[in-house]
Structure 1
Amino acid sequence: MRLRVFTEPQQGASYETLLRVAKAAEDLDFDAFYRSDHYLAMGGDGLPGPTDAWITLAGLARETSRIRLGTLMTAATFRLPGPLAIQVAQVDAMSGGRVELGLGSGWFEQEHTAYGIPFPKEKFSRLEEQLEIITGLWSTPVGEKFGYDGTHYTLRDSPALPKPAQSTVPLLIGGHGKVRTPALAARFADEFNIPFASLEDTRRQFARVRAAAGEAGRPDGDIVMSNALVACVGKDDAETARRAAAIGRDVAELKEHGLAGSPAEVVDKIGRYGQAGSSRIYLQILDLSDLDHLQLISEQVRTQLP
């Protein structure tokens, strides 16, 4: 089981804050540092204001050395597929081949309105075309051209450059959709992520993805399965309660819907997600000033996992 740090900078974080967290995650032997892709806080004032996901990752690519870097999830509504393919390939090269791309359809209409970003009705079909274009651009041999005729996007005589440093940038697709989401994952995903799901919902969704992958001719186990869950761990009840209060959440609710409580409690619950098929957990860390939280999780949770 791999543990990854997942941040929500739209709630209020500068690049310097994210850099401190990413470096701490690397020093503490977490597997990856991920961030969301949002431009508007969901509650609170969001000060000092949003940071861009791929500009952030470009900076971190040069200031870290081992940890993998990615998004849960880049919003397809924010970017055109050609420029996004260039951005991700460039950041991958800047990192020495440590980038992963989580790509989703985009869903938060209010942030689009706040920053003048179109919010189309046909988001899922746009996402599908973006995945086709990005993978097509990256897989086109050097010296050949790439073209695409879609409903939403058309490319002509693209040199399909630059290429990522990795032979394949891992693609993450996720969500709770019962039909179209598993089918899309079966076509494109190296990893499928279900966010903030119960154990039972996790089992059901993983089964749907495996079934869709089998129908697409992919071998069993070809897609990595993962969860994203809020984390609130304390060495004792008082510390857990303090950390829950700092993020405005109730301990009982966090224990039911996330990973909360003592290290032993959290190790046990992660083990149950492992039994459900998950091999990576993205720990949603909401208080980015509390680096002691990361240290506790690394030393007393991460080291206890198989």
Structure 2
Amino acid sequence: MDENFKLRIFTEPQQGGTYDDLLRMARTTEDAGYDAFFRSDHYLKMGSVTGEPGPTDAWLTLAGLARETSRVRLGTLMSAGTFRLPGPLAISVAQVDQMSGGRVELGLGSGWYEQEHAAYGIPFPSLKERFDRYAEQLDIITGLWETPPGGTFDYAGEHYVLTDSPALPKPVQQPRPPVLIGGAGKKRTPRLAARYADEFNLPFVDIDSAVEQYGRVSAACSEIGRDPAEIVRSAALVLCAGRDEAEITRRAGAIGRDVDELRSNGLAGTPAEIVDKIGTWRERTGITRLYLQVLDLADLDHVELVASEVAPQL
């Protein structure tokens, strides 16, 4: 596989999964040679699944995995800005970065899933206020991490005020862990990405939409004098691979999806089909990382199949 192109595994444990399920998948991800193991940050299931045995906290999970893996990078797509105050989140992520020996990445979004906020008593402001808070959170978290040792950090925003912060603990990665921003917003999202993002991720969109949004991010970079090439382009697509049609159909059924729909909107098919589709994405969008959304946490063979029969052809 091209060393500049990375395949990453991305899981959605709110759909039903324990820490032990995630640990098995993370270890399989590492052993199979993938670049990273990521998870969503949600507290409520989506769709018709029961969600049992219930949600797991993203950063508690990643702290555990930090100690039980040794190579793969670890992160979130995306932590919701509504879930945690920016100062404590900066502490948590820096600590997990220390626990992992410098393998953590923070995907941060504004928060969008209103039902999970209602289910667990989490305030859910208007979209404008969520984005206003999100912008301040990015400023604060990166500012805390980048404060020189021995220095202090102060911040006076509309929603958050920090006074004489020692800006500790420091992450292992310097000047800070990578920050991922994503989404299809046409104005504020590209501007925030241009200012703060090390990577820009587009989840579950078609190629034409992706080309347009990456272009907006590049334009926003140029407006502030930043080289657009400094931002890694990535995408996330649901995975449904099989050696033959029967295996593809079985895997689609296991996640309650239609094969034709997955072939159209996701990354479904034989290894050869998947190699071709990834090639099209790379050629048209310039992505150098692809997150494979694996929805059946028990299906370790799925991850191993792609590692053995897709990755070597990329």
Q: Where on the TM-score scale, by shorter chain, does this alignment land: which range?
A: over 0.9
Q: What whole-Å deviation, never above 9, does each CA across 1:48-81 have from its counterpart, x for those lacking one?
A: 1000000000000000000000000000000000
Secondary structure of the equivalent of 2:229? coil
2:178 is the counterpart of 1:173: no
Secondary structure of the equivalent of 1:77? coil
Partner of 1:65: 70
2:91 is the counterpart of 1:86: yes
In 1, the alpha carbon distance for the partners of 2:209 and 2:159 equals 33
Equivalent of 1:197 in 197, 201, 205: 205
The offset of 1:283, in angstroms, is: 0.4
Secondary structure of the equivalent of 2:257? coil
* 1:186-265 matches, cutoff 5 A: 186-265=194-273
* 1:4-15 matches, cutoff 5 A: 4-15=8-19
Partner of 1:27: 31
In 2, the alpha carbon distance for the partners of 1:272 and 1:183 equals 27
The offset of 1:143, in angstroms, is: 1.2
In 1, the alpha carbon distance for the partners of 2:89 and 2:137 equals 9
Structure 2: runs of 5 or more not aligned: none
In 1, the alpha carbon distance for the partners of 2:138 and 2:62 equals 20
In 2, the alpha carbon distance for the partners of 1:220 and 1:156 equals 34
2:288 is the counterpart of 1:279: yes
In 2, the alpha carbon distance for the partners of 1:12 and 1:95 equals 25
Partner of 1:141: 148
In 2, the alpha carbon distance for the partners of 1:123 and 1:235 equals 44
Equivalent of 1:75 in 80, 86, 89: 80
Q: What whole-Å deviation, never above 9, does each CA across 1:109-129 have from its counterpart, x for those lacking one?
A: 110111111111110010000
Equivalent of 2:162 in 133, 155, 160: 155
Secondary structure of the equivalent of 2:82? helix
The offset of 1:302, in angstroms, is: 1.1
In 2, the alpha carbon distance for the partners of 1:197 and 1:109 equals 21
The offset of 1:220, in angstroms, is: 3.6
Q: What whole-Å deviation, never above 9, does each CA across 1:73-93 have from its counterpart, x for those lacking one?
A: 000000000000000000000
The offset of 1:216, in angstroms, is: 1.4
**TM-score under structure 2 normalisation?**
0.96
Equivalent of 1:37 in 20, 34, 41: 41
- How many residues were matched structurally? 305
Partner of 2:138: 131
Q: What whole-Å deviation, never above 9, does each CA across 1:2-61 have from its counterpart, x for those lacking one?
A: 110000000000000000000000000011000000000002111110000000000000
In 1, the alpha carbon distance for the partners of 2:180 and 2:17 equals 24
In 1, the alpha carbon distance for the partners of 2:57 and 2:98 equals 19
Q: Would the aligned equivalents of 2:217 and 2:228 in 1 still touch at CA under 8 Å?
A: no
Q: Would the aligned equivalents of 1:26 and 1:67 in 2 still touch at CA under 8 Å?
A: yes
Q: Report % sequence identity.
A: 66
Structure 1: runs of 5 or more not aligned: none
Give the aligned residue type for 2:207: L
In 2, the alpha carbon distance for the partners of 1:78 and 1:173 equals 16
Q: Would the aligned equivalents of 1:206 and 1:277 in 2 still touch at CA under 8 Å?
A: no
In 2, the alpha carbon distance for the partners of 1:221 and 1:142 equals 29
Give the aligned residue type for 1:24: T
